[in-house]
Amino acid sequence: MKTQPTASHFIDGQYVEDTSGEEIPVIYPATGEVIATVYSATPAIVEQALAAAHAAEKEWAAMTGTERGRILRRAAQIMRERNHDLSVLETYDTGKPYQETSVVDATSGADSLEYFGGLAAAITGEHIQLGEDFVYTRREPLGLCVGIGAWNYPTQIACWKGAPALACGNTMVFKPSETTPLCALKVAEILHEAGAPAGVYNVIQGYGPVGASLITDSRVDKVSLTGSVPTGKKVYAAAAEGIRHVTMELGGKSPLVIFDDADIENAVSGAILGNFYSSGQVCSNGTRVFVQKGIKEAFLTRLAERLQGVKLGDPQDPEVNFGPMVSEKQLGIVEGYIAKGIAEGARLVCGGKRPDMAGFFLEPTVFADVTDDMTIAREEIFGPVMSVLDFDTEEEALARANDTEFGLSAGVFTRDLSRAHRMAAGFEAGTCYINTYNDAPVEAPFGGSKQSGVGRENSKAAIEHYSQIKGVYVRTGDLEAPF
């Protein structure tokens, strides 16, 4: 497959190149080879993208929701037809196994285009009767939205931000992560092919400073970031300078609580899905696995058995179910955490090493006897490292689960439904799971509380974050005044 894109940026309905920007090598994580080169946006490219998105605002907002929705749904259809090629590209961009990308990434992107395309015509205001007078509300777009993406789900993130933004009548300039610059260009190309007018959805490449330069431009009305908490703090602060709307999808250190009465096979499945999918590079992962003491050893034994089913290798091979880390840098960060886990006294149950193969592979790693104060239990690792902690009571588990500055997700496995709902109500997290983990359908809200974020993506809730209400008071009779 050709991995070199036509050009680095997609602006105003066409590919645009400017090789005077800083070179960004695109590295295939499974081999370490450079598979493409793109160039970071220069100030002139940033200006071109913002000007195009600004100029497109009025025409796009003036279209009916039905017209906008039809374009988004057509784009969804094209994405589904090209699922194979888009999945192969996602695997080159991220290193995630084709076994995953072929059912998750373009699929989830298409779901979001289809869902918000379907909602577009239903985005309306309301009528509020006040005696003979009345108020009506108009739900209006915010204007120009900037999207900034992380590297773990490049197609999905480009769509989860673009689809609701465009459905509400906004335009977008999207900057993917410099680590995975390829997939968002395809999203832009497909939206344009589906009929989105030039300038409605633009993609430019670049490192952090390019993202930073977008946020403070006076034409920008909203910034939606998917990234780490430290980046979120900077982006939030920069957006505040112009009182811009924000959505912050940030990191986590989520708890997964497994009670003695849980179905052990399902609980092990949840722990695997919540720690090792995408080689552990998922924001919502349940990396603090609290296991009640009565089933701790049985859980660890069955987990070790199930991990025999891990198949590392060429991620493009549909039989392979475990890919490399996205980059050498991320591999080094995760190895650093593994070393800390060992140094601080956690028991290494399995993994912890690089296998003898090219690329940035790391074995799935499980630590047991982890305590709340250890670094691996407190900081987001963003790699295939599961920490197993044990507990006695429900109250204790809930208190310890919530003892973190993060609040992205939380899960519970139990057969006791009352307890399951008590736990879900008590978790300080934006997304909770009962007897499952990491499902993220577009119909459900997704996002974090505490330092894990602001706002929600997906579901009807996202409409609130990409539109604003205007109230219009209408008087039908004469108007009295004091003088």
Ligand X SMILES: NC(=O)c1ccc[n+]([C@@H]2O[C@H](COP(=O)([O-])OP(=O)(O)OC[C@H]3O[C@@H](n4cnc5c(N)ncnc54)[C@H](O)[C@@H]3O)[C@@H](O)[C@H]2O)c1
Residues forming the site for ligand PTL (CB under 6 A): 152-153, 282-284, 438, 440
- Residue 315 interacts, among ligand X, ligand PTL, none and using kind-specific CB cut-offs from 5 to 8 Å, with none
Which lies closer to ligand PTL via its Cβ, residue 214 or residue 442?
Answer: 442
Sequence letter at residue 481 = A
- Find tokens 């811009």 and name the residue: 244
Write down the least CB distance from residue 151 to ligand PTL, Å. Answer: 10
Which lies closer to ligand PTL via its Cβ, residue 326 or residue 346?
Answer: 326
Angle between helices 43-62 and 208-215 (to 10 degrees): 50
Active-site option among 90, 249, 335, 457: 249
Q: Which of 143, 208, 214, 135 is nearest to 174 (CA)?
A: 214
Tally of CB atoms within 10 A around 255: 29
- Residue 114 interacts, among ligand X, ligand PTL, none and using kind-specific CB cut-offs from 5 to 8 Å, with none
Write down the least CB distance from residue 19 to ligand PTL, Å. Answer: 32
* Rounded to 5°, angle at Cα 281 from 227 and 392: 105
- Residue 287 interacts, among ligand PTL, ligand X, none and using kind-specific CB cut-offs from 5 to 8 Å, with none
Residues 383 and 280: beta-carbon distance below 8 Å: yes
Write down the least CB distance from residue 316 to ligand X, Å. Answer: 23
Alpha carbons 357 and 360: distance in angstroms, whole number:
8
Alpha carbons 413 and 411: distance in angstroms, whole number:
7
Q: Is 64 exposed, middle or buried (0-12, 13-18, 19+ CB in 10 A)?
A: exposed
Write down the least CB distance from residue 325 to ligand X, Å. Answer: 11
Write down the least CB distance from residue 153 to ligand PTL, Å. Answer: 5
Chain residue whose CB lies nearest ligand X: 211
Show Cβ contacts of residue 331 under 8 Å, excluding neighbours closer than 6 positions.
324, 325, 354, 360, 362, 383
- Residue 438 interacts, among ligand X, ligand PTL, none and using kind-specific CB cut-offs from 5 to 8 Å, with ligand PTL
Write down the least CB distance from residue 95 to ligand PTL, Å. Answer: 15
- Find tokens 């991990």 and name the residue: 307
Sequence letter at residue 292 = Q
Which lies closer to ligand PTL via its Cβ, residue 48 or residue 107?
Answer: 107
Residues 104 and 282: beta-carbon distance below 8 Å: no
Decide the pairing of beta strands 222-226 and 467-474: unpaired
- Residue 440 interacts, among ligand PTL, ligand X, none and using kind-specific CB cut-offs from 5 to 8 Å, with ligand PTL
Q: How far apart are the first and last CA of the chain?
A: 77
What is each CA distance from 139 to 16, 142, 441, 465, in whole angstroms? 34, 10, 25, 11
Show Cβ contacts of residue 294 under 8 Å, excluding neighbours closer than 6 positions.
260
Write down the least CB distance from residue 215 to ligand X, Å. Answer: 6
Which lies closer to ligand X via its Cβ, residue 94 or residue 316?
Answer: 94
Which lies closer to ligand PTL via its Cβ, residue 48 or residue 452?
Answer: 452
Dihedral of CA atoms 119, 145, 186, 148 in degrees, nearest 10, equals -120
Alpha carbons 288 and 301: distance in angstroms, whole number:
18
Which lies closer to ligand X via its Cβ, residue 160 or residue 259?
Answer: 160
- Residue 42 interacts, among ligand X, ligand PTL, none and using kind-specific CB cut-offs from 5 to 8 Å, with none
Give yes or no: 90 in active site: no
Which lies closer to ligand PTL via its Cβ, residue 102 or residue 171?
Answer: 102
Residues that bind ligand X (CB under 6 A): 148-152, 175, 177-178, 207-208, 211-212, 226-228, 231, 234-235, 249-252, 283, 380, 382, 408, 448, 453
- Residue 352 interacts, among ligand X, ligand PTL, none and using kind-specific CB cut-offs from 5 to 8 Å, with none
Alpha carbons 324 and 90: distance in angstroms, whole number:
13
Catalytic residue set: 249
